[in-house]
Amino acid sequence: MIIRKVEYIISAVKPEQYPPGVSMELAVAGRSNVGKSSLINKFLNRKNMARVGQTPGKTQAINFFHINDEWYLVDLPGYGYAKVSLEVKARWGRMMQTYFQKRGNLLGVIQLVDIRHKPTEDDKTMVKMLRDRGIPMLLVATKADKLSRSRQIVQLKIIAETLGVEDWKQIIPFSAVDGTGNRELHEEVDQLLQN
Ligand code: GDP
């Protein structure tokens, strides 16, 4: 897909603020600092569409972008930042439940994990939530440039096993720095949008 137009719509904290759920939609999820903003910018070929390096855990809103006047890309708030209060964590949980309940137009979630680390309990909870709801998931391992190809494979196998993914080759290694995986991600997104 050629990204012709990217329009920031809204940073929503409640469902009344969501744009009408009439277009196809894909959401991006991951823990704070996983590289979500960097991936979105790289994917969209825009420098500052999503803000990189924000205070982790600060963004507690759901950001909607309209792409090519055709579909929504949704930046979900990052999770798993140790320093946030229980109240903030609970609010995050409610926000996610509401989002997944309300968006019948959601075609899938691009779930991010850091290629260097074993997925956290929060990552596992997120993946389980998607599976329980029958939401198709595209798993992406970020910051691939930080590891050699052989280390990447070791880590992809650990990630696959931890998250119950049958084949580690289904996970896309991605780098916002050198562009690794961007083409594959585009192809997978095209597939999801065509179904
Ligand atoms: P977010 O909190 O998930 O939106 O993460 P950001 O996109 O803000 O990135 C968090 C930090 O990781 C920033 O310092 C980024 O520069 C860095 N980062 C993000 N993606 C990559 C990547 O692909 N490679 C490297 N080396 N660093 C990255």
| Pocket test residue of 52, 65, 83, 145 for ligand 1, highest count of atoms within 8 A of CB | 52
Please work out whether the CB of residue 59 comes within 6 Å of at least one atom of ligand 1: no
In the chain, the amino acid numbered 194 is: Q
The CB of 35 under 6 Å from ligand 1? The reply is yes
Centre of ligand 1 to C-alpha 11, Å, is 21
The token pair at 125 is: 């909870």
Among protein residues, the one with the nearest Cα to ligand 1's atom 20 is: 35
Residue 58 pLDDT greater than 80, yes or no: no
| Predicted local confidence at residue 56, as pLDDT | 58
pLDDT beyond 60 at 156: yes
Contact 44, 65 (CB under 8 A): yes
- What percent of the chain is modeled with pLDDT above 70? 96
Q: Which residue's C-alpha comes closest to atom 6 of ligand 1?
A: 35
Task: Give the model's pLDDT for residue 12.
Answer: 94
Judge whether residue 59 has pLDDT over 60.
no
Region 156-175: mean pLDDT is 98
Per residue in 71-101, pLDDT (tens digit) is 999 999 999 887 888 888 899 999 999 999 9
Percent share of the chain, pLDDT over 90: 84
Contact 137, 130 (CB under 8 A): yes
Please tell me the CATH code under which domain 6-194 is placed.
Answer: 3.40.50.300
For the chain, domain boundaries: 6-194
Determine the distance separating the centroid of ligand 1 and the alpha carbon of 182, expressed in angstroms: 15
| Pair 143, 116: CB distance under 8 Å | yes
Pocket lining: 76 vs ligand 1, CB cutoff 6 Å = no
Q: Which atom of ligand 1 is nearest to the CA of 174?
A: 23
What number does the ligand 1 atom closest to the CA of 51 have? Answer: 8
Question: Which ligand 1 atom sits nearest the alpha carbon of residue 36?
Answer: 3
Give, using CA atoms, the residue closest to atom 18 of ligand 1.
35
Beta bridge partners of 65: 8, 73
In this predicted model, what pLDDT tens digit does every residue of 9-50 receive, in sequence order? 999 999 999 999 889 999 999 999 999 999 999 999 998 888
| Overall average pLDDT of the 105-109 stretch | 97
What average pLDDT does this structure show over 45-58?
75
What is the distance of C-alpha 153 from the center of its chain?
21
Q: How confident is the model at residue 60 (pLDDT cuts 50, 70, 90)?
A: confident
Residue-level pLDDT at 85: 86
3-state secondary structure 94-117: HHHHHHHHHCCCEEEEEEEEECCC
| pLDDT computed for residue 82 by the predictor | 76
Reported pTM: 0.96
